């Protein structure tokens, strides 16, 4: 029925015009309505993803020309798609064990079990997981051959002004911020499969793709009929039920400098390591009554290597705590330091609960480690002046828009340049500062049995302080380049080559080649090999030409190792740039960084003053029988030649915790 027909039959034109007008108006109204609806939906989407969208601003662009920005496009995928949603209480005083809620806007940022950050997008042949190929489509050169041709036989024997202590401390920090487990293939009965000897496994297990074939004329392995290194690929986000493309890797440790290796990066490990009384961490004692980490129960299916040792220690870093005597010793040092603090604090505040004693001690341990990193360690690595102009030394500069995550390029390449400082031996030094005996580091890997015997702990630390370290150079020492993890129960001269593994690992995690990363760090892109001459010696460039098809094919690790050192630093400019970037972000992106003020967890000004006095020397004096330490703790000082250059442990190294004493009416704590 036409409701208007009777009234409007004499005015057809007018009616038509009216109807048209009405139709137009309806369409306009509909368009306006739809636009508003669309805008509303867009706004809702914006609000919903705002948190995640903020994480797009991965690295804040600063005005400092030295700073770099991530160019990668996939960094947010893990946080958006797979990271758990976490609710945070902004008033909590202590950092969480797994690092969540440090950033109140993106609570999982920097937390354990989140993805590494990429500075450049992943580089895989298939865009997803297959190893990068050379620009002419051929396979990349064999990492072992690269080592043999470029690095293996060029050891420089000049000694460093830095002592060996720089090594275990550096390794402690490396494992504090980075944990990328190997994806070791196993049978259904949980027995480890050897990718080298099991032909079938090589074909069926993706994990076996990373094995390194030793060339038939290998200068070391060929003599012993060893043809293969069983390196396995890393765990990916798939292992954590998060399929992502390109392949994404998960850092199992918190990405903040927060003593993860002492306390663990998840609640279950951290609780397991606690006595739950007096704030202390679990420990064992040796025959002298000295404190060591708790001893692990033997596991049923241990790799053959571990069966050679009588003990394995439990630490917050289950994968690496027993890797070599140096890392186990420094883990022990910080375990003792925690328990020393817990004891002192409980004497000052007898009413404090186990939890408060644990957390307050932990807070001081973390602050001490951060202070040593930024005051003593980092200036040696990247150079004091560079650190200053990079803006790393500024105080109290927390910025929630800065992403504190570990860069894949840093973890799987740049910081591993410090593998060049691994010496062949550790010295055990007597009270009279004579070398009692020395051990090859590679003979005692995954085997800490020596550490708790007699006074070995003190002797080892004396050795660390007195022995000049290995200078950084374009080679790893011969032993770590051939015999790493060679175990007594295996045939002689088996073992792995750390340098080959480091090159292979870069390919495993899809790092961009050296030229691209060098460019990210401010150099112009090299058009051919000869353009690298600004940073790499012409002799090495010639060998690179023999190994690689094009300048765009060179592995990042290889380029970093060959670069001439930067002024005042022990690494070259590209490693310096990547390390500075990481340590800038680990500090500026950490709400609980020790000098940040105005947070519930901030130290009081008086406490902060005391924290700033504590050095690694204080820690060594408080936790060992070492009687003298040097002020510049990482500089070699020969005690016998310069007895007055070191200071006696005692008043100089006293840790004053008076400012942690609370009036007794706070007994409700």
Interacting residue with ligand HEM among 326, 383, 469, 495 (CB under 6 A): 326
For residue 130, say if its preceding peptide bond is cis, omega within 30 degrees of 0.
no
- For 631-649, the DSSP string reads SSTTB---TTT-GGGEEES
336 by DSSP, 3-state: which?
A: helix
Torsional class of 659: left (φ above 0), alpha (ψ -120 to 50), beta (otherwise): alpha
Contact between 527 and 518 (Cβ < 8 Å): no
Burial class (CB in 10 A: 0-12, 13-18, 19+), 550: middle
| Segment contacting ligand HEM by CB under 6 A, of 286-294, 336-344, 415-423, 456-464 | 415-423
Alpha carbons within 13 A on the beta-carbon side of 379: 14
Taking a C-beta distance cutoff of 8 angstroms, is the pair 531, 551 a contact? yes
Interface with ligand HEM (CB under 6 A), residue from 162, 171, 427, 447: 171
Q: Does 178 bind ligand HEM (CB under 6 A)?
A: yes
Position among 68, 220, 441, 611 found at the interface with ligand HEM (CB under 6 A) = 441
Residue from 180, 235, 380, 578 binding ligand HEM (CB under 6 A): 180
Give the distance, in angstroms, between the CA of residue 444 and the centroid of all CA atoms in the same chain: 24
Q: Return the number of the residue (253 or 344) whose C-beta is nearest ligand HEM.
A: 253
Candidates 35-43, 176-184, 187-195, 629-637: pick the segment binding ligand HEM (CB under 6 A). Answer: 176-184
| DSSP codes, 331-386 | HHHHHHHHHHHHHHHHHH-TT--HHHHHHHHHHHHHHHHHHHIIIIIHHHHH-HHH
- Beta-bridge mates of residue 628: 648
Note whether 244 binds ligand HEM by CB under 6 A.
no
Contacts with ligand HEM by CB under 6 A: the residue count is: 21
Number of CB atoms found within 10 A of residue 40's CB: 10
Residue 602 binding ligand HEM, by CB under 6 A: no
Per CB under 6 A, the list member of 419, 459, 518, 639 interacting with ligand HEM is 419
- Distance in Å, CB of 115 to ligand HEM, minimum: 13
Of 99, 107, 170, 264, the one binding ligand HEM by CB under 6 A: 170
As measured in angstroms, the least distance from the Cβ of 182 to ligand HEM is 6
Site membership for ligand HEM, residue 411 (CB under 6 A)? yes
Question: Do the beta carbons of residue 417 and residue 575 sit within 8 Å?
Answer: yes
Taking the complex as a whole, the smallest distance from the CB of residue 167 to ligand HEM amounts, in Å, to 5
Please report how close the Cβ of residue 642 comes to ligand HEM at its closest, in angstroms. Answer: 26
Residues 6+ apart with CB under 8 A from 356: 279, 349, 669
107 vs 170, beta carbon nearer ligand HEM: 170
Piece of the chain touching ligand HEM by CB under 6 A; list 12-20, 383-391, 410-418, 528-536: 410-418
CA distance 260 to 238: 24
179 versus 379: smaller Cβ distance to ligand HEM: 179
Contact 410, 579 (CB under 8 A): yes
Nearer to ligand HEM, 174 or 637 (CB): 174
Binding residues for ligand HEM restricted to 456-515, rule: CB under 6 A: 498, 501, 505
Judging by DSSP bridges, how do beta strands 159-163 and 284-285 pair with one another? unpaired
**CA-to-CA distance for 131 and 511, rounded, in angstroms?**
10
For the bound state, the minimum distance from the C-beta of residue 155 to ligand HEM, rounded and expressed in Å, comes to 16
Q: Assess 416 for contact with ligand HEM (CB under 6 A).
A: yes
The binding site for heme b comprises 419
The residues binding ligand HEM (CB under 6 A) are: 167, 170-171, 174, 178-180, 182, 323-324, 326, 411, 415-416, 418-419, 422, 441, 498, 501, 505
The binding site comprises 419
């Amino acid at each position: 029925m036409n409701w208007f027909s009777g009234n409007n039959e004499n005015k057809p034109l007018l009616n038509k015009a009216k109807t048209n007008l009405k139709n137009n108006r309806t369409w306009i109204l509909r368009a306006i309505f739809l636009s508003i609806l669309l805008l509303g939906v867009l706004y809702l989407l914006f609000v919903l993803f705002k948190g995640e969208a903020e994480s797009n601003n991965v690295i804040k662009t600063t005005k400092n020309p030295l700073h770099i920005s991530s160019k990668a496009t996939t960094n947010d995928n893990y946080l958006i798609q797979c990271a758990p949603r976490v609710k945070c209480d902004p008033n909590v005083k202590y950092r969480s064990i797994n690092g969540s809620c440090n950033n109140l806007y993106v609570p999982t940022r920097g937390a354990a079990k989140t993805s590494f950050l990429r500075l450049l997008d992943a580089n895989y042949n298939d865009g997803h997981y297959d190893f990068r190929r050379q620009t002419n489509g051929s396979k990349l050169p064999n990492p072992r051959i690269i080592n043999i041709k470029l690095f293996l036989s060029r050891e420089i024997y000049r000694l460093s002004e830095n002592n060996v202590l720089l090594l275990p401390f550096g390794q402690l920090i490396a494992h504090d911020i980075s944990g990328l487990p190997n994806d070791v293939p196993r049978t259904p009965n949980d027995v480890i499969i050897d990718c080298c000897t099991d032909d079938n496994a090589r074909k069926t297990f993706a994990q076996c793709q990373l094995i390194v074939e030793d060339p038939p004329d290998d200068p070391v392995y060929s003599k012993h009929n060893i043809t293969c290194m069983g390196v396995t690929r890393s765990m990916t986000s798939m292992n954590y039920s998060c399929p992502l493309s390109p392949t994404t890797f998960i850092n199992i440790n918190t990405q903040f400098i927060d003593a993860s290796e002492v306390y663990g990066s998840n609640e279950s490990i951290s609780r397991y390591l606690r006595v739950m009384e007096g704030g202390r961490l679990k420990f064992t004692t040796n025959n002298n009554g000295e404190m060591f980490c708790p001893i692990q129960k033997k596991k049923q299916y241990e790799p053959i290597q571990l069966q050679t040792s009588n003990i394995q220690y439990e630490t917050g870093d289950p994968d690496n705590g027993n890797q070599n005597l140096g890392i186990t010793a420094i883990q022990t040092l910080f375990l003792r330091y925690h328990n020393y603090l817990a004891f002192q604090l409980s004497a000052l505040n007898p009413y404090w609960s186990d939890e408060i004693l644990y957390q307050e001690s932990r807070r001081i341990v973390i602050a001490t480690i951060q202070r040593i990193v930024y005051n003593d360690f980092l200036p040696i690595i990247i150079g004091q002046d560079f650190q200053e102009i990079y803006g790393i030394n500024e105080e109290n500069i927390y910025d929630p828009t800065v992403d504190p995550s570990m860069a894949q390029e840093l973890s799987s390449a740049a910081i591993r340049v410090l593998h060049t400082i691994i010496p062949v031996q550790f010295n055990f030094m007597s009270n009279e500062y004579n070398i009692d005996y020395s051990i090859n580091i590679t003979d005692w890997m995954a085997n800490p049995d020596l550490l708790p015997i007699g006074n070995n702990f003190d002797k080892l630390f004396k050795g660390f302080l007195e022995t000049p370290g290995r200078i950084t150079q374009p080679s790893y020492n011969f032993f770590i380049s051939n015999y790493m993890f060679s175990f007594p129960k295996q045939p002689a001269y088996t073992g792995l080559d750390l340098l080959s593994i480091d090159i292979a690992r870069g390919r495993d995690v899809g790092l961009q080649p050296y030229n691209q990363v060098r460019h990210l760090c401010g150099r112009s892109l090299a058009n051919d090999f000869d353009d690298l001459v600004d940073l790499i010696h012409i002799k090495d460039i010639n060998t690179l030409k023999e190994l690689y098809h094009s300048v765009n094919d060179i592995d990042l690790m290889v380029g970093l190792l060959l670069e001439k050192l930067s002024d005042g630093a022990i690494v070259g400019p590209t490693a310096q740039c990547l390390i500075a970037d990481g340590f800038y972000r680990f500090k500026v992106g950490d709400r609980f960084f020790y000098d940040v003020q105005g947070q519930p967890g901030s130290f009081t000004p008086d406490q902060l003053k005391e924290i700033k006095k504590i050095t690694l020397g204080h820690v060594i004096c408080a936790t060992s029988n070492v009687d003298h330490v040097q002020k510049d703790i990482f500089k070699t000082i020969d005690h016998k030649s310069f007895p007055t250059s070191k200071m006696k442990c005692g008043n100089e190294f006293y840790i004053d915790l008076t400012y942690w004493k609370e009036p007794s009416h706070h007994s409700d704590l």
